[in-house]
């Protein structure tokens, strides 16, 4: 069964850094790009960026370029997203999803999301 498994919750203070994980199973990790998407409470989906497992090629939305890094660990089939200098408006659910390398950007598998709360 193909899955993307994320931790459930994270609580951080303003100014802290966040390291989110997304563990893939049931499919060949190297065959798919990993995307990160977030959703603030009561708001819409927001695309953050994309990383290619194995080569760590990343493309990040301009809004997040100064604070976001994305990496992958092929030994554990896990993608990571780091978000630095957290602010209260980073409070959101962060999803990972995938699309096939060489294919169009259809997101056919999603993690359940990590709820991140930034509060003092």
45 binds other proteins (CB under 8 A): yes
Site string for other proteins, 92-111 (x = CB under 8 A): ---x-x------xxxxx-xx
61 binds other proteins (CB under 8 A): yes
Whose Cβ is closer to other proteins: residue 16's or residue 91's? 91
Neighbours of 109 (CB within 10 A): 15
> Which of 56, 73, 112, 117 lies at the binding interface for other proteins (CB under 8 A)?
112
Whose Cβ is closer to other proteins: residue 17's or residue 101's? 101
User: 39-46: long-range contacts at Cβ-Cβ below 8 A with a sequence spacing of 24 or more?
Assistant: 39/92, 39/93, 39/95, 39/113, 40/89, 40/91, 40/92, 41/91, 41/92, 43/92, 46/92
41 binds other proteins (CB under 8 A): no
């Amino acid at each position: 069964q193909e899955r993307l498994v994320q931790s459930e919750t994270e609580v951080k203070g303003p100014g802290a850094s966040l390291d989110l994980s997304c563990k893939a199973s049931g499919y060949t990790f190297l065959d798919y790009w990993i995307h990160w998407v977030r959703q603030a409470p009561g708001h819409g989906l927001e695309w953050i960026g994309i990383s290619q497992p194995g080569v760590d090629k990343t493309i990040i939305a301009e809004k997040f370029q100064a604070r976001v890094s994305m990496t992958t660990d092929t030994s554990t089939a896990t993608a990571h997203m780091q978000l630095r200098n957290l602010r209260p408006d980073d409070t959101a659910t962060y999803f990972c999803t995938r699309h096939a390398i060489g294919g169009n950007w259809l997101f056919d598998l999603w993690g359940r999301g990590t709820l991140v709360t930034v509060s003092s």
